[in-house]
Amino acid sequence: MIHKLSLKYKLDLKIIVVALLYYLSARMGYFFAFENTTALPAWPPSGIGFALIILLGRSAWPGITIGALVANVMAYWNSPELPPQTIITISSLIAIGNTVEVVVGNYMVKAWIKDDYPFGVTKSTFRFLFTTLLMCAVGSGIGTLSLYLNDAVLAENLLRTGFSWWVGKVVGILLFTPLILSIAKRIGFKFSTGKAMEAGIFLLSLVGIYLLLKVDYLRPTLERTLPFVVLPFLLWLAFRFELIIAITGVLIVSLISIYMTIIGVGPFVLSESYNSMLLLQIFIGVISISTIILSATVIERGVAQRKLEEFNENLETMVQERTRALNEEINTRKEAEDKIVRTNKELSKRNTELDNFVYSVSHDLRAPIASVFGLINLAKKDKDTSKKNMYLEMIYKSAMQQDDFIKEILDQSRNSRLEVKREEILFEPLIDETFNQLKFATSPGNSVEKVINIYQDEPFYSDRWRLKVILNNIISNAIRYRNGKDPVIKVDITIREHLATLAIQDNGKGIDRDHLPNIFKMFYRATDDGAGSGLGLYIVKEAIDKLNGQIQVESEVGIGTLVKLAIPEIQ
């Protein structure tokens, strides 16, 4: 219920507040009236009424009318030369003029300026100044005409009175409207040590000027030059502070100037009151306009500078992001190029291996078959039973050679296709299994001595199948190319810090130094005895690479071979 009542009487309350403020500001304006004049150096109600109707909307116009009517009736009521009926008529017409004045100004602000606070952009500020001049011309024209029609002003004084009223209204708007709009917009003074010091210097400067005026031999000169001395300080306020501070400074200087002129002191005192008032109004108008325009220019420049800084920051961010994207793209392209190079190398290697593979397979697979066919033909023709057993033994060796070759091809195929499998590795049974599978590779009268040392105190995980292929090929080579007397194979294995270190050493035939760089190539044979296919060490190297390990071979002809392996644990 209370809320509904407040809404119901909201407009009435608004009108009453506007009327009261307008009347009080009018009384303040009459306080600064010059003697023997009907005009005032500044008409505060124009500025206050204009600000109120901008803030509260055009529905507040009755408050302007009521306040103006009461203020003018009170002003003319004690005039003995005017009858009450004439006073009411004049006051009513002036109130209508004041109301039309602010309504026209509010319409131009809404329709033309389109900003309730037009002091942040220079263009809007100039439009506000033009609006002020136009609306004050309407109000002062109606007011002066009402005086003339009611014989309160002579025809020869009509222009001067109207002009004085117009300038007074303009000054009132320039002094009070920006101040009230700034307060309503909550554009206040941002305190800082530097700004506080500057404000203190400004106040001290005003005090200094006042004290200098007390000096007799400086007073005549300073009184005449006072407007020129004060102007730089006001421009300083406009340049360094917000509009609310700058326009407050202008208001203080204006009120002091009005007061000094009224009491007959200062640079604006002339022989006639009208001339003194006009000179004072021009001074106040100039400092007000200069301050407002300069403040708007500074604000506009600040906004432009902030936008430029934001643009630079955004541009820098965009450049950084684009640079980062380009770097990523370059890295991606580089990685792609490196991958292509690696792929090309791999393809080239595979093509070469494929060519060798096709040639060697056709040769190594057909050679044992050809031997078998030849031996079978010899066995058919030869009737000697002992020789047939020899032929069968030779056929068996050829078949075994072909079987070993096929196994090596299968091992190579599985190594290239299968993913690495993580299993726990126990090297002792793995070595025993390898030697057991190869025990038939030696004749009964020429066995190989084994010396095995395994140091494994911690679990080790790797691919068991690949480790078995590696050990099988290395140990089989050591057995195959053993020496004729007392062959020995020594195996040392150490597991430490997730790394398996293997050393397999024999005292066999050894490998010539010239062959060592090529022993890991596909189908490369370091000997011409035809015992091997040339795939064994190639398969070993491929399996070692799959396990991310390393292999090193040291050998001397007639002394033996040492193979060193370093295989990291699969995590």
Contacts for 125 with CB less than 8 Å, ≥ 6 apart = 118, 119, 292, 293, 296
361 to 16, 398, 406, 533, 534: CA distances (angstroms): 113, 15, 9, 9, 11
Q: Which residue has the higher pLDDT, 397 or 119?
A: 119
Give pLDDT, residue 1: 43
pLDDT, mean of residues 381-403:
65
Q: Which of 96-100, 332-336, 457-461, 536-540 has the lowest mean pLDDT?
A: 536-540
For residues 126 and 293, the answer to whether their CB atoms sit within 8 Å is yes
- For residues 379 and 382, what is the distance between their CA atoms, to the nearest angstrom? 5
Model confidence over 214-227: pLDDT tens digits? Answer: 777 777 777 777 78
Pairing status of strand 488-496 against strand 449-455? parallel
The span from the CA of 502 to the CA of 251, in Å, is 98
The pLDDT, as a whole number, for residue 178 is 93
Nearest to 118 by CA among 246, 250, 299, 283: 299
Residues in the chain: 571
What per-residue confidence (pLDDT) applies to 443? 52
Distance CA 65, CA 97 (A): 9
User: What is the distance between the alpha carbons of residues 232 and 238, in angstroms, rounded to a whole number?
Assistant: 10
Encode 368-394 in three state secondary structure: HHHHHHHHHHHHHHCCCHHHHHHHHHH
Question: What integer best gives the mean pLDDT of the chain?
Answer: 81
pLDDT at 456: 86
Q: Mean pLDDT over residues 172-192, rounded?
A: 79
Q: Token pair for residue 569?
A: 């644990």
pLDDT for position 108 = 94
Strand partners, 493: 454, 502
pLDDT for 176 equals 93
Give every CB contact of residue 15 below 8 A, 6+ residues apart in sequence: 60, 62, 63, 66
Most confident of 119-128, 311-320, 434-443: 119-128
Q: Which CATH number is correct for 1-188, 3.10.129.10, 3.30.70.20, 1.10.1760.20, 1.10.8.870?
A: 1.10.1760.20
The DSSP output letter for 569 is: P
Residues contacting residue 492 through CB under 8 Å, at least 6 positions apart: 453, 502, 503, 505
Predicted local distance difference test score (pLDDT) of residue 51: 94
Domain with CATH 3.30.565.10 in the chain: 420-568
Span of 62-71, 398-407, 452-461 with lowest mean pLDDT = 398-407
Burial class (CB in 10 A: 0-12, 13-18, 19+), 243: buried
How confident is the model at residue 97, as a pLDDT? 92
Give the pLDDT score at 403: 62
Q: What is the largest CA-CA distance in the chain?
A: 172
CA distances to 85, 455, 456, 501, 533 from 461, rounded to whole Å, are: 118, 15, 12, 13, 31
Q: What is the pLDDT of residue 4?
A: 47
Measured in degrees and rounded to the nearest 5, phi and psi for residue 267 equal -80, -10
Structure tokens at 16: 């009453």
Q: Ranked by mean pLDDT, which of 408-412, 431-435, 525-529 comes out on top? A: 431-435
- Would you list the DSSP string of 226-281? HHHHHHHHHHHHHHHS-HHHHHHHHHHHHHHHHHHHHTT-STT--SSHHHHHHHHH
Q: Which of 200-209, 244-253, 414-423 has the lowest mean pLDDT?
A: 414-423
Amino acid sitting at position 563 = V
Could you tell me the two tokens for 541? 């190297």
pLDDT in tens, 540-558: 888 888 888 899 888 888 8
Q: Which residues contact 323 (CB under 8 A, 6 or more apart)?
A: none
pLDDT at 195 over 80: no
Q: Please, which residues have CB within 8 angstroms of residue 7's CB and are 6 or more apart in sequence? A: none
For the ranges 16-20, 393-397, 493-497, 564-568, the lowest mean pLDDT is seen at 393-397
Q: Which residues pair with 568 in a beta bridge?
A: 499
Question: Among 70-74, 92-96, 187-191, 310-314, where is mean pLDDT lowest?
Answer: 187-191
Look at 4 and 54; give whichever has higher pLDDT: 54
Query: What string of DSSP letters covers 497-512?
Result: TTEEEEEEEE-SS---
Cα separation values, 414 from 287, 409, 427, Å: 96, 9, 22
- How far are the Cα atoms of 47, 367, 376, 398, 401 from residue 372, in angstroms, in the given order? 124, 9, 6, 7, 11
Segments of the chain assigned to CATH 1.10.1760.20: 1-188
Q: Which residue has the higher pLDDT, 388 or 91?
A: 91
Query: Mean pLDDT, to the nearest integer, of 453-464?
Result: 88
pLDDT in tens, 87-108: 889 889 999 999 999 999 999 9
Class of domain 420-568: alpha beta
Q: Please give the share of the chain, as a percent, with pLDDT higher than 90.
A: 18
Q: Are 515 and 537 in contact (CB under 8 A)?
A: no
Read off the pLDDT of each residue in 275-303 and give the average, rounded to a whole number.
88
Q: Please report the pLDDT score of residue 3 as a whole number.
A: 46
Please tell me the least confidently modeled range out of 84-93, 180-189, 319-328, 494-503: 180-189
Greater pLDDT, 376 or 112 = 112
Sign of CA dihedral 429, 434, 437, 441: negative
Averaged pLDDT for residues 38-67: 88
Q: Where are the alpha helices (DSSP H) in 185-218?
A: 193-213
Instruction: Inform me whether the pLDDT recorded for 382 exceeds 70.
Output: no
- Is 70 exceeded by the pLDDT of residue 142? yes
**Between the CA of residue 531 and those of 65, 85, 368, 402, 413, what are the distances in Å?**
125, 143, 12, 11, 22
3-state secondary structure 64-128: HHHHHHHHHHHHHCCCCCCCHHHHHHHHHHHHHHHHHHHHHHHHHHHHHHCCCCCCCCHHHHHHH
